Amino acid sequence: MLRVSLPEPIQRRARKRAPLAALALAALWAATAAPDAGAHAVVQPAASRPAEQQVYTLTVPSERGSDVIEVSMQVPPAVESLLVRKAPGWQVQIQREGDRVAVVRWSGSRIPPQQYDSFQFIARNPVQEGELDWKVIQKYTNATDRWIGPPDSEYPAARTRISESATPVDAINTEEGTPAADGAGADAGQAPTADGGGGGDGDSNTVPIVLGAAALVAALAALGLALSNRRRHSPT
């Protein structure tokens, strides 16, 4: 076998450049490698009550070295009613199966690396207890992550536990525009009342007047006491 020996200066330059080439390959691998399983597309809240009209939030992080350019979510078959909130900068496409929304797709914008975006929607929970699987597919400019697997998989789907024992969070009655239960947040449509929740306006108006009059009497009494002490100690 013919062996060619390179000049020593060329060999030295090659040895110096080898670490740089390794770093470049590592950076290229990190840009396209699988994302950390500890941070993925999630749907909150993680627990909700049966038959509730629930405000859900889908949070999608960009965990690769490129931008997320499209997000699609498969709606669980048990969810028969769903409303999607407009997301600034994104175009929303709805795919139906009969009368129900089967897939929601957000496109037309980007999520840069190490950033995230959130998408809100209102869904009516099924009447029976169980689990809802929100299967999310996020497309990057050079890769696709499919969060559709079971809980112990590398790419688990987002899940919501439907249970009577769940604490109400952001539940709303869209027909009346009021929270469906205690604990609903303001973003879910809760409107503060001007009278603080009182029924009539007679008592609510009388209490501040009585308190104000009592404070005025106390202040005048304190002033009279101070003037009396001043006259008592002043030289005659």
- Using CB atoms within 10 Å of the CB of residue 113, give its burial: 0 to 12 exposed, 13 to 18 middle, 19+ buried: middle
From the number of C-beta atoms within 10 Å of its C-beta (0-12, 13-18, 19+), residue 41 rates as buried
By CB atoms closer than 10 A (0-12, 13-18, 19+), residue 67 is: middle
Q: What type of residue is 37? A: A
pLDDT number for residue 11: 58
Dihedral sign for Cα atoms in the order 41, 45, 46, 50: negative
Residue 174 token pair:
């869209």
- What per-residue confidence (pLDDT) applies to 75? 98
Give the pLDDT score at 31: 39
pLDDT, tens digit, 9 for 90 and up, residues 206-218: 434 444 444 444 4
Do the beta carbons of residue 75 and residue 104 sit within 8 Å? yes
Give the bridge partners for 101, in sequence order.
96
Q: Of 103, 59, 62, which is closest to residue 84 (Cα–Cα)? A: 103
- 162 versus 7: the higher-pLDDT residue is 162
The CATH class of 42-188 is mainly beta
High-pLDDT (> 90) share of the chain, %:
56
Find out whether 143 and 95 touch, Cβ atoms under 8 Å: no
Q: Residue 182 carries which side chain, given as an amino acid letter?
A: D
Residue 7 is given by DSSP the state: P
Length of the chain: 236
Query: 36-82: per-residue pLDDT in tens?
Result: 444 689 999 999 999 999 999 999 999 999 999 999 999 999 999 99
* Tokens coding 196: 């603080």
What confidence tens digit (pLDDT) does each residue in 183-194 have? 434 343 333 333
